[in-house]
Amino acid sequence: MDKRSTFIIHMNIAAKPKPFSDNHSWFSATLRSITDSPKFIYSYTNVINGFSAVLSSDELHALRQSPGFLSAYADKQATLDTTHTSQFLSLNHDAGLWPASNYGEDIIIGVIDSGVWPESDSFNDKGMRDIPKKWKGKCESGAGFNSSVCNLKLIGAPYFNKGLMAATNSEISLFGDSATARDSMGHGTHTSSTAAGSEVTGASFHGYGGGIARGAMPRARLAIYKALWDNGRYASDVLAAMDQAITDGVDIISISMGFDGVPLHEDPIAIASFAAMEKGILVSASAGNSGPDLSTMHNGIPWVLTVAAGTVGRKFFATLTLGNGRDFSGGVSLYPAKALLLNVPLVYNKTFSSCNSSETLSAMAEDMIVLCDFTSSIDYQMRSVTQSNAAGAIFINDNLDAAKDFTCPSVIVSAKDGFELLNYVKEHKETATVTVSFQQTLVDVKPAPAVAEYSSRGPSPSFPGVLKPDIMAPGEKIIAAWVPTRSTAKLGRTPLASDFNIMSGTSMATPHVSGVAALLKSVHSEWSPSEIKSAILTTANTLDNTLEPIKELADRVPMVTASALAMGAGQVDPNKAMDPGLVYETGTEEYVSLLCASNYTSKQIMAITRWRSAAALNCSKASKDLNYPSFIAIFDDGDYVQRFVRTVTNVGYEGSVYKVKVVSPGGVDIRVKPETLVFKEKYEKLNYEVQIKRSRKRSEKKYSDGSIIWLDIKGKYKVRSPVVVVV
Structure confidence at residue 82 (pLDDT): 43
- What pLDDT, in 10s, does the model give residues 192-243? 999 999 989 888 888 888 888 888 788 899 999 999 998 889 999 999 999 9
Look at strands 478-481 and 703-712 and give their pairing: unpaired
Looking at the DSSP assignment, which residues form a beta bridge with residue 4?
A: 56
- How many domains is the chain built from? 4
- What pLDDT, in 10s, does the model give residues 378-418? 889 999 999 999 999 999 988 888 887 899 999 999 999 99
489 and 628, same structural domain? no
Give the model's confidence band at 96: pLDDT under 50 very low, under 70 low, under 90 confident, else very high: low
The mean pLDDT of 590-605, rounded to a whole number, is: 92
693 and 588, same structural domain? yes
99 and 207, same structural domain? yes
Look at strands 703-712 and 718-726 and give their pairing: antiparallel
271 and 326, same structural domain? no
229 and 196, same structural domain? yes
Q: Given 81, 106, 113, 405, which residue is catalytic? A: 113
Lowest mean pLDDT among 413-417, 572-576, 634-638, 697-701: 697-701
Tell me the percentage of the chain whose pLDDT exceeds 70: 93
Q: CA-CA distance, 235 to 72, in Å (whole number)?
A: 13
Report which of 536, 568, 578 is spatially closest to residue 632, judged by C-alpha positions. 568
Structure confidence at residue 94 (pLDDT): 53
322 and 309, same structural domain? no
Give the model's confidence band at 174: pLDDT under 50 very low, under 70 low, under 90 confident, else very high: very low
Contact 677, 662 (CB under 8 A): no
The mean pLDDT of 432-459, rounded to a whole number, is: 91
Q: What is the domain extent for residue 285?
A: 79-313+449-577
Structure confidence at residue 395 (pLDDT): 95
524 and 375, same structural domain? no
> Has 187 been annotated as catalytic?
yes
Looking at the DSSP assignment, which residues form a beta bridge with residue 10?
A: 50, 71
Which of 4-18, 97-111, 688-702 tops mean pLDDT? Answer: 4-18
- What pLDDT, in 10s, does the model give residues 267-324? 999 999 999 999 999 999 999 999 999 999 999 999 999 999 999 988 899 999 999 9
Lowest mean pLDDT among 222-226, 522-526, 540-544: 522-526
Query: Cα 497 from chain centroid?
Result: 25
The mean pLDDT of 128-151, rounded to a whole number, is: 92
Give the C-alpha distances (Å, rounded to integers) separating 493 from 389, 406, 500: 14, 11, 20
Q: CA-CA distance, 331 to 319, in Å (whole number)?
A: 7
Any idea what DSSP says for residue 172?
G
Structure confidence at residue 669 (pLDDT): 93
Amino acid letter, 118? P
DSSP count for the chain of H helices, then E strands:
17, 38
Structure confidence at residue 171 (pLDDT): 61
Contact 506, 309 (CB under 8 A): yes
Which secondary-structure segment (H or E) carries 378?
helix 378-386
**Per-residue pLDDT for 471 more than 60?**
yes
Using only C-alpha atoms, what is the Rg of the chain? Answer: 27
Give the model's confidence band at 176: pLDDT under 50 very low, under 70 low, under 90 confident, else very high: low
Q: CA-CA distance, 495 to 490, in Å (whole number)?
A: 4
User: Please, which residues have CB within 8 angstroms of residue 381's CB and are 6 or more apart in sequence?
Assistant: 354, 355, 356, 372, 393, 395
250 and 121, same structural domain? yes
> Has 113 been annotated as catalytic?
yes
**Per-residue pLDDT for 458 more than 70?**
yes
User: Please, which residues have CB within 8 angstroms of residue 395's CB and are 6 or more apart in sequence?
Assistant: 355, 372, 374, 378, 381, 382, 402, 403, 410, 411, 412, 413
Looking at the DSSP assignment, which residues form a beta bridge with residue 307?
A: 286, 471
Q: CA-CA distance, 25 to 39, in Å (whole number)?
A: 14
Q: What is the CATH number of the domain that holds 347?
A: 3.50.30.30
Q: What is the CATH number of the domain that holds 30?
A: 3.30.70.80
50 and 171, same structural domain? no
36 and 22, same structural domain? yes
Structure confidence at residue 84 (pLDDT): 43
Structure confidence at residue 339 (pLDDT): 84
Contact 286, 568 (CB under 8 A): no
Give the model's confidence band at 177: pLDDT under 50 very low, under 70 low, under 90 confident, else very high: low
Evaluate if pTM is beyond 0.75: yes
- What pLDDT, in 10s, does the model give residues 679-723? 999 999 999 999 999 876 655 678 999 999 999 999 999 999 999
- Own/partner pairs, 126-129, CB within 8 angstroms, 24+ separation: 126/198, 128/152, 128/153, 128/219, 129/105
Sign of the CA dihedral running 694, 700, 701, 702? negative
611 and 549, same structural domain? no
Q: Given 187, 206, 298, 512, which residue is catalytic? A: 187
Contact 472, 309 (CB under 8 A): yes
683 and 551, same structural domain? no
User: Please, which residues have CB within 8 angstroms of residue 550's CB and are 6 or more apart in sequence?
Assistant: 310, 449, 450, 451, 472, 541, 542, 543, 544, 561, 562, 567, 570, 571
Tell me the percentage of the chain whose pLDDT exceeds 90: 71
Amino acid letter, 591? Y
The 10 Å Cβ neighbour count of residue 511 is 36
User: Please, which residues have CB within 8 angstroms of residue 24's CB and are 6 or more apart in sequence?
Assistant: 43, 51
Mean pLDDT of the chain: 90
**Per-residue pLDDT for 613 more than 70?**
no
Q: Of 74, 96, 111, which marks where a domain is finished?
A: 74
Q: Given 507, 514, 630, 664, which residue is catalytic? A: 507
Q: Is the peptide bond before 292 cis (omega within 30 degrees of 0)?
A: yes
